[in-house]
Structure 1
């Protein structure tokens, strides 16, 4: 493939799957500026790695998730934020995608509580729940994160149990 066609192919695939990049950046950033920087860094790393992408080994979205999550987690590890102000709670506007310009609808209280819960998870569990909520199968989640399907199932079960406990507690407090 010529250099120009290679770049066009990359740009088309990235445009088609750009929502993944913005979702990952939204989950692993604490401000709009951090999100923009992370989107840029993910895009650069995707381009650098694109020559090694083999569509026979993985779907583009699986490959993209793997790189985006690795970049986000690596950047998170490099930054030395204090635990108290480490993350801004995930909001619907963090999940906006480029192009459409329209914001997502305002979340209700339960959705807001879910976003807050996700924002408190450690980086691996945050990635896990993002992929689970994207309706990715356990096999694909395992492939993206480099863990076993059994580990995926166990961790998702624990996250759900913890979420149920927090949501039940929140409803009891609000009642």
Structure 2
């Protein structure tokens, strides 16, 4: 792969890496699993990047690859994330640490969201990222109407859980 393509990937990835952190937080239970999943998603994004055509925004494409990777690993391992070695990588990506010590309410919400099924979790994550329903539907491969209906039902479920 060319150095230009490599540099483009690193620049885009670093600008949007919080997407991967949020997905990792949603599908893992501890820091080690989070780091393992972060690494696996990064590898999958790197492998898929040469095929990225730019039809969608980079962040939308990144969400799709990251969510598919997380869901696939989550289902395969039943909460035990496995990783692959990726030797021969010559670039470094500086990873920001995700600080959640001051986010008690978010922890409660994340715990409630973790109880949802895989697609509903992904939908909530994209919704919380202020993605519009068109982009959510493209990322998840469902209709825009279906995304809206699902989100309204999820909101009701979460309200009941968070405000008993």
* Smaller-chain TM-score bracket: 0.7 to 0.9
Shift of 1:102: 7.0
The Cα RMSD (Å) is: 2.0
1:62 paired with 2:60, answer yes
Within 5 Å, which residues of 2 pair with 1:70-85? 70-81=68-79
SS in 1 for 2:78: coil
Does 1:19 find its partner at 2:14? no
Match of 1:143 among 121, 138, 141: 138
Aligned length: 151
1:98 equivalent in structure 2: 95
CA 1:103–1:15 in 2, change beyond 3 Å: closer, same or farther?
same
Q: What is residue 159 of structure 2 aligned with on the other side?
A: 164
**Distance across 1 between alignment mates of 2:79 and 2:4:** 41
Radius of gyration: which is bigger? Answer: 1
Q: Which residue does 1:53 correspond to in 2?
A: 52
Distance change >3 Å, CA 102–CA 136, structure 1 → 2: closer
2-structure distance, mates of 1:81, 1:107: 23
> Structure 1 157/12 Cα, relative in aligned 2: closer, same or farther at 3 Å?
same
Deviation at 1:105, TM superposition (A): 5.1
Mark the runs of 5 or more structure 1 residues left unpaired by the alignment.
83-96, 170-175
- Deviation larger for 146-155 or 159-168: 159-168
Structure 2 residue ranges without an equivalent (≥5): 81-93
- In the TM superposition, 1:84-123 aligns within 5 A as 98-99=95-96, 101=97, 103-104=99-100, 106-108=102-104, 110-123=105-118
* TM-score scaled by length of structure 2: 0.85
Q: Give, in angstroms, the shift of residue 4 of structure 1.
A: 0.7
- Residues 114-165 of structure 1: CA distance to partner in whole angstroms, max 9, x if unpaired? 1221121111111100000100000000000111111100110001111122
Instruction: Report the CA distance between 1:166 and its aligned residue.
Output: 2.0
Give the TM-score, by structure 1 length: 0.80
